[in-house]
Amino acid sequence: MDATTRPHRIPPVMGVYAEKHKVFQLMQNMAEALLIFRPEDPIDFMIEHLKKDNDEVPAVFVLGPPAAGKTTISRWLCKHLSATYLNPQQLLKNKLLHRSREALQQQERQGSVSDELWAALLEDRLADVDCVKLGWVLDGFPETRAQARLLQALGVAPRHVVVLDAPEMVLVERNLGKRLDPVTQEVYHTTFDWPIDFTVQKRLIKPEGTSAQDTAKRLLESHRNIPDLLRTYPDNHKIISADQPCADVFAQALSFVQSRFRSEAPFSPRVLLLGPPGSGKSLQAALLAQKYGLVPVSFVDLLREEVAGRTALGELIKPSFESGYPVGDSVALRVLGNRLAQPDCIACGWVMHGFPRDVDQADLLRRAGLEPNRVFFLHLPTEVAAQRLCQRATDPVSGDRYHTIFKPPANEEIHLRLRRNPRDAPPRVEKKTEVYDRQVCDLEDFYEEALFVNADQDPYTVFEYLESCLVTPLPVTKPGIRSLAGSSSRQ
């Protein structure tokens, strides 16, 4: 492909294949590994890299001041992602690491372990098969920029850095009430998280370093070190407020860890918007087209253009329009295929709505090589859809559109001459909504990597979420788990 020629007319099937199999990301990961480790035999190194097949496993640092909840969030992330939990104390006690005895002896003699030895211990641990295959979450390390730089020099680089933060008074209160179960290593709190089991209550102990004096000293050190740590990881960290319910902190951390950063790989968006009548598909398509130069493709409008142009396909479509029956799938696919094969759609990408209506049409679209690479389901309650559609009207004089609730006319004269489209009559809206509801579950199963959006909110809030998913790769999720917008839910 000649980089000096614009626009690039890349066949859509190439882009679909490249994104599905992460071709560009794979090439980038191998190039990064080559530059970091500088092997003598790059070919053998890349072969071994491909055999590991671990480019998508978690590699996470969870950092923050004392009592910010690092251990809890780290363990929850490990449980959800099936990753390996790591912390400095585990490294010291791991007798399988050949330098753990040296580290323990150094700690006994000097009261601390050198940064170089910490880095060496972690490097050895990350080479174990569980960390390589499942990924890892490191709790509370590194603590300083010097430690972070040592890890970078050894090729230990996290994909995501979660930084927890909270006001000092909150952290002090949490740390003073912290209790540790010496058997399970679970952390509890005398106020916020006291165990129900009486046996567990009896064996809880107060961890070292949780006195008021120790807490103040550790908080001071943390506040000094965190800014430098953030400069070490400028592009892949996220600061999350820990002064909120633990479930909310975890949800934000999980969403960040599953996200993938924006790629420089060539990408032509092919967006499919699905949703019930009134969910805002036309508006969102127009907004995406306006900002990103995509071609808006309305299936219904394409059919009308064919009929109005009196083309051969238009003559086949006209009887369906007159009778009210759906256009045949083969004719519909020919109309769409002709439009999506145009140079503007191939070069700039497209955003489509109105098709497919069922799984059979979706399968035809896929077999024709017209598969979208972003699919969004706009969810909207039936009563809200009816309110949006049945209350809108048009001024036949000015052509302006009004809504009796959201955009009422300015005076009575305009109100009296408003006309409603017969398509917005309540019975017709209910019928179209029922048809969509019968098909939507099968469509959701067909498009496994679809994203779900709550359309019952401000249109520009919906657009911001669609936009964020358009400019970044799809999030990494476990099989069977869908990606949801922050305030969306499946109806």
9 occurs within a structural domain:
no
Q: What is the pLDDT of residue 429?
A: 80
Whether residue 264 is contained in a domain is answered as no
Where among 227, 258, 289 does a domain terminate? 258
241 and 359 assigned to the same domain: no
Answer yes or no: do 226 and 325 share one domain: no
Are both 160 and 137 inside the same structural domain? Answer: yes
Domain annotation covers residue 11: no
Look at residue 340 and tell me if it is in a domain.
Answer: yes
Question: How many domains does the chain contain in total?
Answer: 2
Question: Of 201, 229, 258, which marks where a domain is finished?
Answer: 258
Model confidence at 219: pLDDT above 80 = yes
Asked if the structure places residue 337 within a domain, the reply is: yes
User: Which tens digit of pLDDT belongs to each residue from 307-358?
Assistant: 888 888 888 888 887 777 788 888 889 999 999 888 888 878 899 999 999 9
426 and 337, same structural domain? yes
Same structural domain, 191 and 73: yes
484: pLDDT strictly greater than 70? no
> CA 86, CA 97: separation in Å to the nearest integer?
13
Residue 130 CB contacts under 8 Å (≥ 6 apart), including other chains: 84
Residue 49 falls inside a structural domain: no
276 shares a domain with 159: no
The whole-chain average pLDDT of the chain stands at: 85
Quick one: pLDDT band at residue 290, thresholds 50, 70, 90? very high
In a domain, 46, yes or no: no
CATH code of the domain in which 352 resides: 3.40.50.300
* Residue 72, both tokens: 């809890």
Residues 157 and 278 in one domain: no
pLDDT digits (tens, 9 = 90+) for 138-187: 999 999 999 999 999 888 989 999 999 999 888 888 888 888 888 887 88
Q: Which domain holds residue 149?
A: 57-258
Distant-in-sequence contacts of 51-56, Cβ < 8 A, 24+ apart: 52/132, 52/133, 54/132, 54/133, 54/135, 55/22, 55/25, 55/26, 55/29, 56/22, 56/476
Same-domain status, 220 and 317: no
Find, among 259, 287, 260, the residue nearest to 273 by Cα: 287
Bigger pLDDT: 410 vs 68: 68
* CA separation for the pair 10, 215 (Å, rounded): 59
Residue percentage of the chain with pLDDT more than 70: 92
Identify the domain boundary among 215, 233, 258.
Answer: 258
Same domain, 154 and 206: yes
Domain for residue 4, yes or no? no
In this structure, the answer to whether residues 293 and 336 fall within a common structural domain is yes
Q: Which of 73-77, 201-205, 259-263, 366-370 has the lowest mean pLDDT?
A: 259-263
The answer on 341 and 439 residing in a single domain is: yes
Please indicate, yes or no, whether residues 330 and 450 belong to a single structural domain of this protein.
yes
